[in-house]
């Protein structure tokens, strides 16, 4: 089967986001299963075509200045797919960024378009309500393109049931049209045996860790407010944040907000920019606990990676985390936005070293159920089902109700 994966980012030193990570590990796993895989991505510099670990990676020229950059990007992607030497059987893209928008209007002959729900732009803006303006362009133009692509796809799958429920309600898509295929993980398999140097500031230190963009929707401000009580309870404990400042929060960067909340412990709070997985593994593996206090999360790659490294996770209820973490066994779930609950959970989990070791073993066992080979085989069966079936349209281009006979559903709130 010829498979084309579309992702604006593909791992380099600068392209290490969640979609990039998913695309790279999925592409490699599909090649291991005997499939032919091409990735269409964006170059940081000059365009190129090269084979990387058996995957043909085509890096397109970046579109830097354009009033309709997203549509221009989608047009360039559509042109690149249409001119591939061998036409793909499957074209897969996320809804975020609507990179397959033009393909949804006119796909290559014989190709099936699959949209993978990751997290649509409207949801990102809703969860970052205090961090950026709700511009017309972001709310309507981008959202419209993402919705059109998704509804005109031949098939749709979601990384979690939680995300599928929210998006189906918002975009009037029948829930039974969306399959759930979780993210897979190969974090320990790839990086546990590599160099494991710990940063000097953390050597021989006990610490908790947060990994991800420093932004409101990830609940970094909640962790900032919970930390003082945790650090006061455990005078030897440190806190580590790995990730870049994505947007401001109420007029200041979230790193500054974390530092301001924890000014009584300036030497025990550490910040690192986004790291490669090789550099990240020893930090995650060495942590007492990983903390992901998102206001809402579709399906956290980083929480899977933490469990794969044997690190218990404290995360939040009501979203995709509940499908990854066995509460009380491989981690602990607390209500989102609840500073006292997060503080209590961290203090409690760190109080019992024996229970923490048991939770570490359970976290590793939970991650084994989502290893890449197992999840990719599930994805490949999904592809085969799509190829064997005819095209199924979902709704109309711009909405106005669901498919024939289906009433419009009120959009559920993720919060």
Query: Is residue 133's pLDDT more than 70?
Result: no
May I ask the CATH architecture of the domain 2-184+374-388?
3-Layer(aba) Sandwich (3.40)
Instruction: Provide the token pair at 212.
Output: 């991800």
Residue with tokens 């031949």: 154
Q: How confident is the model at residue 323 (pLDDT cuts 50, 70, 90)?
A: very high
pLDDT at residue 345, rounded to an integer? 97
Residues in the chain: 415
The answer, yes or no, to whether residue 140 has pLDDT greater than 80, is no
Contacts of 167 (CB under 8 A, 6+ apart): 95, 117, 120, 123, 150, 158, 173, 178
Give the H/E segment covering residue 155: strand 155-158
Higher pLDDT, 12 or 230: 230
Which residues fall within 8 angstroms of residue 365, CB to CB, at 6 or more apart? 330
Question: Hey, what are 188's tokens?
Answer: 């320990």
pLDDT of 219 strictly over 60: yes
Confidence of residue 251 (pLDDT cuts 50, 70, 90): confident
* Region of 35 on the Ramachandran plot (φ > 0 left; ψ -120 to 50 alpha; else beta): beta
If we measure between CA atoms, which residue out of 59, 37, 40 comes closest to residue 48? 59
- Region label for 132, one of left (φ > 0), alpha (ψ between -120 and 50) or beta (otherwise): beta
Look at the block and give the residue holding tokens 């032919």. 36
pLDDT at 267 over 90: yes
Q: What is the dihedral of CA 366, 269, 267, 16, to 10 degrees?
A: 90
DSSP H helical ranges for 106-214: 121-127, 136, 143-151, 161-171, 187-191
**What are residue 334's DSSP bridge partners?**
316
| Partners of residue 116 on adjacent β-strands | 94, 157
What is the structure's pLDDT at 197? 80
The answer to whether 310 and 368 are in contact (CB under 8 A) is no
77-124 pLDDT per residue, tens = 999 999 999 999 999 999 999 999 999 999 888 899 999 999 998 888
- Structure-token pair, residue 307: 């469990």
d(CA 69, CA 99) in angstroms, rounded, equals 11
When the pLDDT of each residue in the chain is averaged and rounded to a whole number, the result is: 88
In the chain, ranges of CATH 3.40.50.2000 domains: 2-184+374-388, 187-368
List 208's β-bridge partners, or say none.
239, 289
Top CATH class of 187-368 equals alpha beta
51-90 pLDDT tens trace? 999 999 999 998 876 557 888 999 999 999 999 999 999 9
> What is the helix (H) or strand (E) element at residue 308, kind and residue range?
helix 301-308
Instruction: Please check whether residue 293 is in contact with residue 336, taking contact to mean a CB–CB distance below 8 angstroms.
Output: yes
CA distance 360 to 164: 30
Instruction: Select from 189, 186, 199, 261 the least CA-distant residue to 230.
Output: 261
Residue with tokens 């009584």: 264
Query: Average pLDDT, stretch 404-413?
Result: 38
pLDDT at residue 131 in the model: 64
Among candidate residues 310, 301, 234, 314, the one with its CA nearest the CA of residue 268: 234
Q: Is the pLDDT of residue 396 over 50?
A: no
Confidence grade of residue 130 (pLDDT, cut at 50, 70, 90): confident
> Rounded distance, CA 240 to CA 210, Å?
6
Distance of CA 199 to the CA centre of its chain: 26
240-261 average pLDDT score = 86
pLDDT in tens, 287-301: 999 999 999 999 878
CB 119 within 8 A of CB 298: yes
Query: Model-level pTM?
Result: 0.89
Mean pLDDT of the region 32-40: 97
- Find tokens 């190129």 and name the residue: 48
Torsion of CA 195, 201, 203, 204, to 10 degrees: -160
What's the confidence (pLDDT) of residue 13? Answer: 52
Using a 10 angstrom Cβ sphere, with 0-12 exposed, 13-18 middle and 19 or more buried, the burial of residue 413 is exposed
Q: What percent of the chain has pLDDT over 70?
A: 89
Can you read off the two tokens belonging to residue 183?
Answer: 């993210």
Given a cut of 60, is residue 404 above it in pLDDT?
Answer: no
Output the six-digit token pair for 161. 């049931």
Look at strands 178-180 and 155-158 and give their pairing.
Answer: parallel
pLDDT band at 402 (very low <50, low <70, confident <90, very high): very low
Share of the chain above pLDDT 90, in %: 72
């Amino acid at each position: 089967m010829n498979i084309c994966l579309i992702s604006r980012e593909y791992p380099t030193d600068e392209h290490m986001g969640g979609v990039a990570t998913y695309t790279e590990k999925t592409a490699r796993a599909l090649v291991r299963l005997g499939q032919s895989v091409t990735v269409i991505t964006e170059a940081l510099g000059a365009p190129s075509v090269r084979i990387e670990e058996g995957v043909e990676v085509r890096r397109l020229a970046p579109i830097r200045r354009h009033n309709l950059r997203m549509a221009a990007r989608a047009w360039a992607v559509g042109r690149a797919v249409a001119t591939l030497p061998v036409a793909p059987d499957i074209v897969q893209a996320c809804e975020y960024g609507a990179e397959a928008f033009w393909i949804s209007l006119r796909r290559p002959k014989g190709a099936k378009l699959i949209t993978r729900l990751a997290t649509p732009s409207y949801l990102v803006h809703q969860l970052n309500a205090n961090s950026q303006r709700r511009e017309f362009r972001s709310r309507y133009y981008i959202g419209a393109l993402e919705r059109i692509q998704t509804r005109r796809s031949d098939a749709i799958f979601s990384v979690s049931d939680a995300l599928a429920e929210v998006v189906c309600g918002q975009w009037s898509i029948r829930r039974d049209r969306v399959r759930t295929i979780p993210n897979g993980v190969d974090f320990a398999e790839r990086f546990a045996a590599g160099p494991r140097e710990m940063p000097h500031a953390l050597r021989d230190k006990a610490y908790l860790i947060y990994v991800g963009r420093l932004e409101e929707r990830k609940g970094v401000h909640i962790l900032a407010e919970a930390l003082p009580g945790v650090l006061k309870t455990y005078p030897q404990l440190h806190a580590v944040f790995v990730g870049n400042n994505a947007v401001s929060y109420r007029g200041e960067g979230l790193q500054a907000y974390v530092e301001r909340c924890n000014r009584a412990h300036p030497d025990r709070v550490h910040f690192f920019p986004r790291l490669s997985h090789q550099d990240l593994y020893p930090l995650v593996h060495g942590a007492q606990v990983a903390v992901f206090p998102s206001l809402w999360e579709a399906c956290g790659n980083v929480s899977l990676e933490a469990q794969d490294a044997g690190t218990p996770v404290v995360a939040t209820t009501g979203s995709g985390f509940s499908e990854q973490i066995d509460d009380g066994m491989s981690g602990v779930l607390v209500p989102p936005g609840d500073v006292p609950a997060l503080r209590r959970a961290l203090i409690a989990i760190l109080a019992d070293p024996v229970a923490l070791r048991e939770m570490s073993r359970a976290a590793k066992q939970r991650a084994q159920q989502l290893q890449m080979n197992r999840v990719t085989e599930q994805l490949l069966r999904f592809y085969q089902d799509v190829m064997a079936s005819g095209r199924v349209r979902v709704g109309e281009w711009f909405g106005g109700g669901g498919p024939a006979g289906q009433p419009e559903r009120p959009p559920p709130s993720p919060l």
